[in-house]
Every structure is written in structure tokens, then in C-alpha cells.
Amino acid sequence: MISKKMEAALNEQVNKEFYSAYMYLAMSAYCNSIGLPGFSHWMRLQYEEENMHVTKMYDYILSQGGQVHLKAITEPPKEYGKPLDIFKKTLEHEQFVTASIHRLMELAIEERDFATQTFLQWYVTEQVEEESNVNDILAPLRMVGEDKGGLMMIDQKLEQRTLATGA
Ligand code: OFO
């Protein structure tokens, strides 16, 4: 059983996770359109991961006897700039999601809602991983700058990403 306030906050987070999925799919399309198939693949898998984040939270709300309220998803941008800008925007977005998860955790602590604290712990850990993965890509991107050969190498590396299980 979760409080109505917690139910509303989790529904807001479901919407944010949906937006994340939508944004990464838009990024995937954009990367494809600028000739970066590896970047596009990475973003496509990120989209799949976000869908898992949505479903996990959706299932939790229902398992706690809560009501799911699906809201309109904001339209993501169509263009994301240069390869470095794409991942800078990705990091910014993940930091925004991390802050949102932390606010949810604060609410769960305030309400002494132990079940939701345990549930949210998975997202706290996941966000550490998400930010770290993006930082690992940003470092070589900063190094190569506009160098086409370097960008191609990074593109090939991103093409190798596989979907993480256990989400
Ligand atoms: Fe759902 O973690 Fe990214 O946004």
C-alpha cells in the first residue's frame, strides 16, 4: 500500500521515464540521419532500457494497489547537434532523472515507506551506472573533437553495445 502522494509522485516518474525513452528514440533517429549507425544503435538500446524502467515502475504501482495514470509525453527535440553535444545532452538528461529519483527517495524516507525505499534503491544504483556509462563515452569524444577517423572508431565501439539484462 502506498500513499496517494507517493502514487502521484511515482506516476510523474513513469512519465519522465517515458519521456526518456521517447527522447532516446528521437536521438537514435537523429544519429542515423547524420551517418552515425553506432551512435544510433546505442541510443536505440537506451530507448529499450528506458522502456524497462517504465514497466518496472508501472508494475510496482499496481503491486502496491495504486492507480496508474498515464499522462501526455512531451515531444522531444528532432536535432541534437554534434556527436559531443548529443552525449552532453544525454548526461544532462540523466542528471535530471537522478535528481528526480533522489526526490522520490526523500519522499519515501519522509513517509517511512520502507517498501518504496527498497524498490527505489534499484533506480538509485541504475542512475549511477547510467551517468558513468555516458561519462565513459564523453571522455573519448572530447579527446577526438572533430576528427572524422576518431569519431568513426567511437561509432564502431558504440555499435557493440548489448542490452543489459536484469532491469
Ligand atoms: Fe531511466 O534512466 Fe535514463 O533516463
Pocket test for ligand 1, best of 18, 23, 130 (most atoms within 8 A of CB): 130
97 Cα–ligand 1 center, Å: 6
Report d(CA 93, CA 20) in Å as an integer. Answer: 8
Give the rounded percent of residues in the chain with a pLDDT score beyond 70. Answer: 98
Domain ranges across the chain: 4-158
52-105 pLDDT per residue, tens:
999 999 999 999 999 999 999 999 999 999 999 999 999 999 999 999 999 999
User: Residue 166 pLDDT more than 80?
Assistant: no
Supply the pTM of this predicted model. 0.95
CATH of 4-158, one of 1.20.1260.10, 3.30.420.40, 1.10.3720.10, 3.40.50.1400: 1.20.1260.10
Q: Which of 60, 50, 166, 65 is nearest to 118 (CA)?
A: 60
Q: Which atom of ligand 1 is nearest to the CA of 126?
A: 2
